[in-house]
Structures are given as structure tokens and as C-alpha cells.
């Protein structure tokens, strides 16, 4: 993970209430081992962040789509982000704008384990965590925002790093969709704050939700077994499966309007163009040469 308030860490923290922020920092430092090969000193996270090997992660440019957590954003032209490569959890990516003075932006989505918590409760928790790792913490702003139709809250906190004495501004905008918290955040020195804020704001305004398609895993497993025996071989073709999914939403979609635009061993995206555009996300659930299952869709004009 690239930001300190990852909700994967939140799961552990909230399940062990007494541990709070120092547990989160330990787990964050442990996560850095995946990329850096060495354990970071928890007390230096405020100053030594992000890690020197940050740019060795998977590069992110242009449109970033995260079908696991149902969102997409667009990075401004010329901006490059990085995320942890598989098998790390697919939550987020980060952007180093400047290392000195510090300017860093991140985009994240993670499950929040406390279902009864409101968005306001979650923001309260995040503010507390930010203030736990800095001195002279001051809440400069807290306001209501929108994330593509979702209610969101934004806060800005200013604090001093305990080791170096440097001043840092941290801003987070959070939105809640079912049990997933979406965050666009930045951490910056005061002199680079406006530049970081400009990039974070452009990414936040581009944020859009992706829709999940319902499917039954056991039924898909039986279909895989049938295909393995030679039945319904069309389920091995992403465009065919996507066309069936698109037909369920629009009976006018023709098969020849569906084109494969992205494919890996386990994921693919097929775009079907009619009066509306249907970008269907598909996934191989059981094996690399298995059937495709339609798991999500983005409907455009």
C-alpha cells in the first residue's frame, strides 16, 4: 500500500480497537517490504514517504479502472502513477509529484468493516489517525463534497513531522458506497500544496462508479465443468460472453458491435457500441484458459 490510511489496515485496526494507529503503521511498514525488501522505521513514515523504490511498481497512466472495487479515474496528461503489482491487493495507486519538497497524491478504495459507521464517523477516524502521527495537528477545513453522485466529505489537516520538524498538509476526500470507502488524498509540503491539490482535484472530478453484474459462482463453476467436457465452447470467447451480457441490458446490441479492447490471462474488457456504449468487464474465475464471466459494466452515451 502506498498511503498510510489504507482500509485494508483499517480492518485490522478496527478489529483490535486497542491497537489503533501504531498497529496500522506497523502493518503499513510490513507492506513496504513487498516492494522495498526492508522494514521501514514506523517513526519515520511522516518524513520517509513514499519509499525510494516506489517507481518500481506497476505504472498507471491515462484511465485507471478498478473493477474489484468498482471505480475509475483519469490521470491528467503527463502524470504517471504506480501501484503494487499482483499478488498485492488491488486497492489503489499513488503519484509522486515531488520528493523534495514533498508532494504526493493517492487514490484508494477499501472495504470498511464497521457497517454501522456513517461517512462522518469514518472521516472522524481518518482525522484521528492523521493527527496521531504528527505534532501540533490543526484541522483547517472540513466540508461536504460529491463523488460522481456519491455524498463525500473533505478535510484538510496541517501538522508537524516529529522527526524532522517539517510542516505537512494532508488532504483527503472520502466517499462511501455500500461498505466501500473511496479516497482521493494528498500529502504535501505547504509550498507544493497548490500543485498537488490541482492534480488531486482533477482526478477527483474524473472519478466515476463502475457497475457490478450479478452472477452465481457455483453456477459458473458448473458451466466451466460443462465446457471442459466440450459443451458451449463459445463461453471461452470474451466477445461472445460480453454480447450476451449486453443483450440483457439492450436487446438491440449486435454481436458485430462488440470488440475486444483489453485482455490479460484473467481479465478482459469488451466494448459493445449501439445507441449506448457498453464496456463489459469479464474475468476468468477458475483457470487461465477457462470460461469468461461478465462481472461488471460501464454504460456510456
pLDDT of residue 158: 96
Residue 84 binned pLDDT confidence (cut-offs 50, 70, 90): confident
Lowest mean pLDDT among 24-33, 64-73, 104-113, 173-182: 24-33
Query: In the block, which residue shows the cell 449506448?
Result: 276
Alpha helices in the chain (DSSP H): 7-15, 20-36, 119-132, 193-206, 217-228, 238-247
- Categorize the per-residue pLDDT at 86 as very low, low, confident or very high, splitting at 50, 70 and 90: low
Q: Evaluate whether residue 1 is within a structural domain.
A: no
Q: Is residue 191 pLDDT above 90, yes or no? A: yes
Does one domain contain both 221 and 153?
Answer: no
pLDDT at 148: 79
pLDDT beyond 90 at 123: yes
**Are 90 and 173 members of one domain?**
yes
Give Cα separations from 24 to 12, 52, 105, 131 (angstroms). 8, 20, 20, 14
Position 182 scores a pLDDT of 94
What pLDDT, in 10s, does the model give residues 30-41?
Answer: 343 333 333 333
**If 0-12 CB within 10 Å is exposed, 13-18 middle and 19+ buried, where does residue 184 land?**
buried
pLDDT at res. 87: 65
Nearest to 156 by CA among 174, 145, 169, 137: 169
If we measure between CA atoms, which residue out of 102, 93, 135 comes closest to residue 6? 93
Instruction: Report, as an integer, the average pLDDT of 39-60.
Output: 65
Q: Which three cell numbers stand for residue 126?
A: 481518518
Residues whose CB is less than 8 angstroms from the CB of residue 191 and which lie 6 or more positions away in sequence, other chains included: 101
How would residue 47 be classed by pLDDT, with cut points 50, 70 and 90?
A: low
> What is the model's pLDDT at position 107?
95
Total domains in the chain come to 2
What pLDDT score was predicted for residue 211? 86
Domain check: are 216 and 205 in the same one?
no
Q: Can you give the pLDDT at residue 230? A: 94
Q: What is the pLDDT of residue 37?
A: 34
Q: Tell me the percentage of the chain whose pLDDT exceeds 90.
A: 54
String of b and e for 40-74 (b: at least 16 CB within 10 Å)?
bebeebbeebbbeebeebeebeeebbbbbbbbbbb
Domain shared by 50 and 135, yes or no:
yes
Residue-by-residue DSSP string for 195-239: HHHHHHHHHHHH-EE-EEPP--HHHHHHHHHHHHTTS-GGGG-HH
Do 199 and 250 lie in one domain? The reply is: no
Pick the range with the lowest mean pLDDT from 9-23, 235-249, 260-274. Answer: 9-23
Same domain, 126 and 52: yes
Residue-level pLDDT at 181: 94
Last residue of one domain, picked from the residues 209, 238, 258: 209
Same domain, 152 and 163: yes
Q: Is the pLDDT of residue 50 over 80?
A: no
Q: What is the pLDDT of residue 8?
A: 38
Q: Is residue 200 part of a domain?
A: yes
Q: What is the CATH number of the domain that holds 75?
A: 3.40.1000.10
218: CATH = 3.10.450.630
Q: What is the pLDDT of residue 38?
A: 33
In which band, very low, low, confident or very high, does the pLDDT at 274 lie, cut at 50, 70 and 90?
Answer: confident
Q: What is the pLDDT of residues 215-243, one digit of tens each?
A: 999 999 999 999 999 999 999 999 999 99
Among candidate residues 209, 228, 260, the one where a domain is terminated: 209
Q: Which domain holds residue 274?
A: 212-300
Contacts 24+ apart (CB under 8 A), 125-131: 125/10, 126/5, 126/155, 126/172, 126/174, 127/155, 127/157, 128/21, 129/4, 129/5, 129/21, 129/24, 130/5, 130/157, 130/159, 130/170, 130/172, 131/157, 131/159
Q: What is the mean pLDDT of the chain?
A: 82
With a cut of 60, say whether residue 179 has pLDDT above it. Answer: yes
Beta-strand runs (E) in 112-166? 135-147, 150-160
pTM for the full predicted model:
0.74
Q: How confident is the model at residue 162 (pLDDT cuts 50, 70, 90)?
A: confident
DSSP designation for 96: E
Residue partners of 296: CB distance under 8 A and separation at least 6: 67, 70, 210, 211, 212, 213, 280, 281
The string of pLDDT tens digits covering residues 130-139 is: 998 888 999 9
Asked if the structure places residue 196 within a domain, the reply is yes
Query: Are 169 and 285 in the same domain?
Result: no
Average pLDDT over residues 182-202: 95
105 burial type by CB count under 10 A (0-12 exposed, 13-18 middle, 19+ buried): buried
Amino acid at each position: 500500500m502506498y498511503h498510510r490510511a489504507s482500509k485494508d489496515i483499517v480492518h485490522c485496526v478496527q478489529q483490535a480497537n486497542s491497537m489503533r494507529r501504531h498497529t496500522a503503521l506497523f502493518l503499513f511498514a510490513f507492506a513496504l517490504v513487498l516492494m522495498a525488501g526492508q522494514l521501514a522505521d514506523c517513526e519515520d513514515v511522516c518524513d520517509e514517504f513514499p519509499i525510494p523504490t516506489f517507481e518500481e511498481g506497476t505504472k498507471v497512466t491515462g484511465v485507471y479502472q478498478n473493477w474489484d472495487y468498482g471505480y475509475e479515474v483519469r490521470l491528467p496528461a503527463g502524470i504517471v502513477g504506480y501501484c503494487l503489482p499482483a499478488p498485492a491487493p488491488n486497492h489503489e495507486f499513488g503519484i509522486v509529484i515531488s520528493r523534495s519538497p514533498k508532494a504526493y497524491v493517492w487514490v484508494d478504495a477499501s472495504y470498511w468493516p464497521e457497517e454501522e459507521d456513517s461517512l462522518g464517523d469514518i472521516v472522524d477516524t481518518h482525522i484521528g489517525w492523521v493527527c496521531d502521527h504528527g505534532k501540533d495537528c490543526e484541522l483547517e477545513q472540513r466540508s461536504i463534497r460529491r463523488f460522481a453522485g456519491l455524498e463525500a466529505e473533505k478535510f484538510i489537516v496541517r501538522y508537524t513531522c516529529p522527526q524532522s520538524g517539517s510542516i505537512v498538509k494532508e488532504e483527503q476526500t472520502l466517499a462511501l458506497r455500500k461498505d466501500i470507502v473511496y479516497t482521493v488524498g494528498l500529502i504535501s509540503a505547504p509550498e507544493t500544496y497548490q500543485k498537488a491539490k490541482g492534480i488531486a482535484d482533477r482526478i477527483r472530478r474524473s472519478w466515476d462508479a463502475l457497475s457490478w453484474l450479478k452472477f452465481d459462482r457455483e453456477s459458473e463453476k458448473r458451466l466451466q465443468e460443462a465446457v471442459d467436457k466440450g459443451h458451449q465452447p463459445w463461453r471461452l470467447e470474451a466477445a461472445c460472453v460480453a454480447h450476451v451480457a449486453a443483450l440483457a441490458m439492450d436487446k438491440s446490441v449486435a454481436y458485430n458491435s462488440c470488440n475486444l479492447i483489453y485482455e490479460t490471462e484473467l481479465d478482459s474488457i469488451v466494448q459493445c457500441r449501439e445507441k449506448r456504449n457498453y464496456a463489459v468487464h469479464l474475468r476468468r474465475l477458475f483457470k487461465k484458459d477457462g470460461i469468461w464471466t461478465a462481472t461488471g459494466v460501464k454504460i456510456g452515451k
